[in-house]
Chains A and B, each alone.
Chain A
Amino acid sequence: MKKSSTNVAFYVPYVLWLALFVIAPLVLIIYQSFFDINGHFTLSNYATYFSSGTYILMTFNSVFYAFVITVVTLAISYPTAYLLHYTKHKQLWILLIILPTWINLLLKAYAFIGIFSQNGGINTFLSMVGIGPKQFLFTDAAFIFVASYIEIPFMILPIFNGIEELNESFVNASRDLGAKWWQTFTKVIWPLTISGVKAGVQAVFIPSLSLFMLTRLIGGNRVITLGTAIEEHFLVTMNWGMGSTIGVVLIVAMFIIMFLTGERKKKRGRRA
């Protein structure tokens, strides 16, 4: 009895934190989403969202770009994490990969503006070799490139941890039973590191849904995502109700992703 009461005590800080910084904001956003710009209780925000083509397109854009960014990051991060696992000074390499995340997002965005702009590093080089300056800034490609660059550490880390936890003897056993490298990868390594991949996808996809700083600075507002819309509603049009409604949509999207990538109970006797 005594023991369980001390256990409860351990939960207090966590529960408080959860209530103040997770539950309360969520409730506030949901509450806010039911008021129009004049402070009247209404469902019109949701009606607007679902009936307006603009918002639906924005949602599609957000999901589409987040998807592309996630795929690009995953395609780069998995092989990187895998190779990293077999390098000598892996802790040092990991540190180098984490390092850029300590730099403010805005600073990184401005750095890329410098690199991509008409008289930036890349175009200077291209002019030198005679190809001439090209438009990089404010293109979709630049947006995806920079967004992927920023998200990569968050993908590499969980995958790297997953691969580190993978017991080498499973790989040996697979090879011992005659599997080639690729077979070993698809049948053993990938399924056993999939939870790291899922964690990475969660860590990248969800924030990518609502990127707004980059859409403006690098994408030149050509790409308008839900994140941009929320920012506009809160800071420009002051329509907090509509902003909150989009926020609710994002939260729902988040739960859908969590559900899709979450660990589900294995069915008994399931084939691998």
Chain B
Amino acid sequence: MSKTIIELKHVSKVYGDTVVLKDINIEIEEGKFYTLLGPSGSGKTTILRAIAGFLDPSQGDVLFNGKRINEMPANERPVNTVFQDYALFPHMNVFENVAYGLRIRKTAKKDIEERVANALKMVRLNGFADREISELSGGQQQRVAIARAIVLEPAVLLLDEPLSALDAKLRKDMQYELRELQQRLGITFLFVTHDQEEALALSDEIFVMNDGEVQQSGTPVDIYDEPINHFVADFIGESNIVAGHMIQDYLVEFNGKTFECADAGMRPHESVEVVLRPEDLDLVAPDAGKVTVKVDTQLFRGDYYEIVAYDQLNNEWLIHSTNPAKDGENVGVTFDAEDIHVMRLNETEEDFDARLESYEGE
């Protein structure tokens, strides 16, 4: 168990009557890669600003190594930020931008040159040192912003959508670079993105945000396999979400049929939502399936076919299949008990964790 470096305790932020953050409780451990994942306007940047020192929380404490730092000025906090809008100094060239923090720290000239060159190399911008900021493309500017922050090797690095302007290939490269850098230097990363694939691929732990609240936190696998509610299930990956009833532990009813499942701890006959991931569904002959659906459309996605189909009750089913189906054809869909994930309505994260604990520990 490594030590907690940053902690937000009951942090909330209110502008006028708009509540932007609602009772945020986050614990960040040293040396790990954390991601804040959520739709636009969910409060991700606001959390980073509270940690970096550009925003006074309306309520709650920001702790660094156990000490309250609410009043500590931004320049004294041992965190650096890659800003969502880059905020590169327009009157300095690339070299001077990246060297800025080092010059403030009165680093020796030779050191500065070496470290800036290394940082620029890492973001694939060697040879751009003498460029003016206005002479760079958006993606190049974004990488200068990354270089400017990482060159200081802070204890904690806050990255606000640092790869949003890059093409797919460069983005992948930079993901590897960032992850490698984070592990090599042991820097704690708090990374903001609304790209769920990026979050799943990079993070040790993810905080899923919506409407100023942390909906769920956990490892990528936990969050993907056991989303706490409709929002998380829908936001992370693609999913089929169907309303149903819990008959008893390990038995759920939906689509008019009863299925075995791997979930327990609900009240009998409680209304629930059932999540089935499209890649867990297999196409079989109509009479061999647990559900029979009629194929509506399909798209070729490269490594799989994405099939949209409807059952008799007109529920939509999203299926990922390696083999194509025929439009208008009736097919059977089958899945295993473990592929079913049952979610209670309005369950808090605490209750959810406790319930999982109670039957998974057996």
A: residues with CB less than 8 A from B are: 167, 169-170, 172-180, 183-184, 187-188, 191-192, 266, 268-272
> Do A172 and B75 have beta carbons less than 8 Å apart?
no
CA distance A175 to B132 in the complex (A): 22
Indicate which residue in A169, A188, A191 contacts B85 across the interface (CB closer than 8 Å).
A169
Q: Does B105 contact A (CB under 8 A)?
A: yes
Q: Are A192 and B75 in contact (CB under 8 A)?
A: no
B75 contacts A272, CB within 8 Å?
no
Q: Label chain A's interface by main secondary structure.
A: helix
Check B87 against A178 for contact (C-beta < 8 Å).
no
Contact B83 A266 (CB under 8 A): no
Contact A173 B104 (CB under 8 A): no
Contact status of A192 and B83, CB under 8 A, knowing A174-B100, A175-B74, A176-B75: no
Q: Is B93's CB under 8 angstroms from A270's CB? A: yes
Q: Is B89 an interface residue (CB 8 A)?
A: yes
Contacts of A191 in B (CB 8 A): 91
Say whether B12 faces chain A, with CB atoms less than 8 Å apart: no
Residues of B close to A178: CB separation below 8 A: 75-76, 101, 104-105, 152
Q: Does B130 contact A (CB under 8 A)?
A: yes
- The 10 A-B residue pairs with the shortest CB-CB distance, nearest first, are A177-B101, A269-B130, A173-B87, A169-B87, A272-B92, A175-B74, A175-B75, A178-B104, A191-B91, A176-B81
Q: Chain B residues near A268: list those with CB within 8 A.
A: 130, 132
Number of interface residues of B (CB under 8 A): 29
21 residue pairs bridging A and B, Cβ less than 8 Å apart: A169-B87, A170-B87, A170-B89, A173-B88, A173-B89, A176-B52, A176-B80, A176-B83, A177-B80, A177-B100, A178-B76, A178-B101, A178-B105, A183-B104, A266-B132, A268-B130, A269-B130, A270-B93, A272-B89, A272-B91, A272-B93
Inter-chain contact B74/A172, CB cutoff 8 Å: yes
Q: Pick from B53, B90, B93: contact of A192, CB below 8 A.
A: B90
> Residues of B contacting A271 with CB < 8 Å?
96
Closest to B135 in A: A268
Cα–Cα distance between A172 and B49 once the two chains are bound (Å): 10
- Shortest CB-to-CB span from A269 to chain B, Å, is 4
Residues of B97-148 contacting chain A, CB below 8 A:
100-101, 104-105, 130, 132, 148
B277 to chain A, nearest CB (A): 40
